[in-house]
Amino acid sequence: MIAGKRVVVVMPAYNAERTIEKTAREVLEQDVVDLVIVVDDASEDGTVALAKSAESALVNARLVVERHPYNRGYGANQKTCYRLALEHDADIVVMIHADYQYTPKLLPAMAGLVASGLYACVLGSRILGGQALKGGMPIWRYVSNRALTLAGNVLLGTKVSEFHTGYRAFSRELIERLPIAANSDDFVFDNEVLAETAWLGYAIGEVSCPTRYAADASSISFWRSVRYGFGCLSTGLAFRLAAWGIMRSARFVPKARRI
């Protein structure tokens, strides 16, 4: 808990048996965390068992593990994460990937920025600080990240360093206003959420986050990344056309805007 607000950390996971226990334990070690929710998207390995073992290893740890009966996709996984977080009375929800690419040690800082009321959305950016390539981010992924982020900022009218991080903190108010159910069940879900956040007029904060790419970290294939990239551009264009009043969108409704 921080500033009287209940902090729930959600961890979407898929075939993360090499890193889930280490990530969950370090998350649970952060004093501000009240509850951790792991949602497993029908992994074919020992992800669920190892997640539960993290709870038993720490005194007074609270961890909930949910498993999809079949693989539904990264976006669908997050939909379950946020639904469960709200059901468990979260005031602040922090999403972190289970592959230990992002350090849980930033949880207090990110939750604190939300708790302060300065930001309803805070991103852990791998680009701020210039450590992405040193941390092992593949050059093709770095270049595409920078290009898509530039396009996103132009189309959405934002000024963030990275749209594509898997480390995010949200206020309860924002999550309840986002049209999460209407979003994709695939990877572009991440981009859609940030576009909707910008549409609703919420400022997006960032903190510099060191990155760790390794063989045991999760990754999507090159061609799925290409599909994700086109999905991001499509989302940005839909936002801009809706802002200009040229196209109607179920996710970018004029009366929902705060700006």
Print pLDDT tens along the chain (259 aa). 899 999 999 999 999 999 998 999 899 999 999 999 999 999 999 898 888 776 666 555 689 999 999 999 999 999 999 999 999 999 999 999 999 999 999 999 999 999 999 999 999 999 988 777 877 788 888 899 999 999 999 999 999 999 999 999 999 999 999 999 999 999 999 999 999 999 999 999 999 998 877 655 555 667 788 899 999 999 999 999 999 989 888 889 886 665 5
Specify the pTM: 0.91
Q: What is the DSSP letter of 182?
A: G
Distance CA 58, CA 220 (A): 32
- Nearest CA to 1 out of 81, 107, 95, 106 is that of 107
Domains and CATH numbers, the chain: 7-256 (3.90.550.10)
Reduced to 3 states, what is the DSSP secondary structure of residue 118? coil
Q: How many CB atoms lie within 10 A of CB 139?
A: 9
Distance CA 251, CA 61 (A): 37
Considering only CA atoms, give the Rg of the chain. 17
